[in-house]
Homo-oligomer: A and B are copies of this chain.
Amino acid sequence: DDVGVSTANMTDPYALEPRRHVALKPASKTPFNGEPPLSLLVEHLITPNELFFVRNHLPVPDVKENEYTLEVSGLGVRELSLSLADIKKFPRHTITAAVQCGGNRRSEMVKVRPVKGLSWGAAAISNATWTGARLSDVLRAAGLDETNTEAKHVQFEGLDLDPTSHPFGASIPLWKAVERIGEVILAYEMNGEPLPRDHGYPVRVIVPGVVGARNVKWLGRIIVSDVESDSHWQQNDYKGFAPNVDWDTVDFSKSPAIQEMPVVSAICDPGDGETVTLVDGKINVKGYAYSGGGRKIVRVDISSDGGASWREVETLESDAAEHPKAWGWTLWKTQVEVPKGTKSLDLVVKAVDSNYNTQPENFENIWNLRGVLSHAYHRISIKLK
């Protein structure tokens, strides 16, 4: 019943990849990773499925609904095997949640010093509504014993397999899975449609407020455990380090796996280096802001003089959810007045979340060898005509 094997055993494991929208610019093709143009991304509070950034670690498995089974096992639970129909029998729960890659905006951090990782722009983040069963309902249906103090993590395995037939894997802390404010769901709908294959058909975990890598797609197995997933991506990737740590000195056991992500923002329109036509001495500027852990964006500040002076952006748009369940992103827009005769502008944006967390000013002091957590102020230069 391990349906991923059908692709991994083929001569070309990437022969059965889904088609992608032409607007998705590939950061890599096998596995496929792609992001939409920034200006298109921020046209929609809810990203259309076909424009949602794609981050795959392995070939996309060709899962058939009638063969699909989700296995549940581990500490303090009975073993369950659930079909898609079984999962749909649990109460339907819908949330709006952004998913962000741990490496979003890596291409800016790289300018300080090289890092290892896909060269993502600022569009390795998108926002959707997700409908599915609450993970907490499924775990309680499996008889989860909440008095079992050994159980500390919930591990997920995908049906996507590496060349040695090991699945993609990740884990989250148990509290996130069971507490009401965690709101983790086993999603089978994305924006009201069955999940597209690139986004985990038929079932993906949505761990709202948590780095994309834990939102396991093509979900095959849930394991309640005393330990985190032993997968490469949990243990030896998606972790932050101090700027002086390099590949000779790094000890991945020393840093925690990234879960909730810090506050971030980006200017999406105009784009860096663009020439913009003034209208009535003004330009329109648009972008997004996001914070992990269910924190809401409470303020976005913009500077049009490279960060020397700031003012608050007037218009923020988001779904209605409030802290600590504000899983979605916030779109912002403003008009910048341009003094006559100005030939170029240095625009900078920074956001503040509902914990009053702020962004770091520059990448130098948050540089890390994997190029993750790349959340410094976003700076662009534009020309005017």
| Chain A residues close to B by CB (< 8 Å) | 173, 175, 179-181, 240, 242-245, 255-256, 258-263, 292-293, 298-299, 301, 307, 309-312, 323-324, 350, 352, 354-362, 365-366, 373, 375
Contacts and interface: CB of A to CB of B under 8 A. Distances in A.
Contact of A365 (B350, B355, B365): B350
Contact of A362 (B244, B361, B375): B361
A152 to B, nearest CB: 9
A360 B255 CA distance: 21
A360 B362 contact: no
26 contacts: A173-B323, A175-B181, A240-B356, A242-B312, A243-B309, A244-B309, A245-B312, A256-B298, A258-B356, A261-B355, A261-B356, A262-B355, A262-B356, A262-B358, A263-B357, A292-B355, A293-B355, A307-B365, A350-B365, A356-B373, A357-B357, A358-B366, A358-B375, A359-B360, A360-B360, A361-B362
Contacts of A354: 256, 259-260
Nearest to A243: B310
A255 B312 CA distance: 11
Nearest to A209: B355
Contacts of A292: 355
- A-B pairs with lowest CB-CB distance, top 8: A260-B355, A262-B357, A242-B312, A361-B361, A358-B360, A356-B373, A240-B356, A357-B357
A244 B310 contact: yes
Contacts of A298: 255-256
A299 B244 CA distance: 13
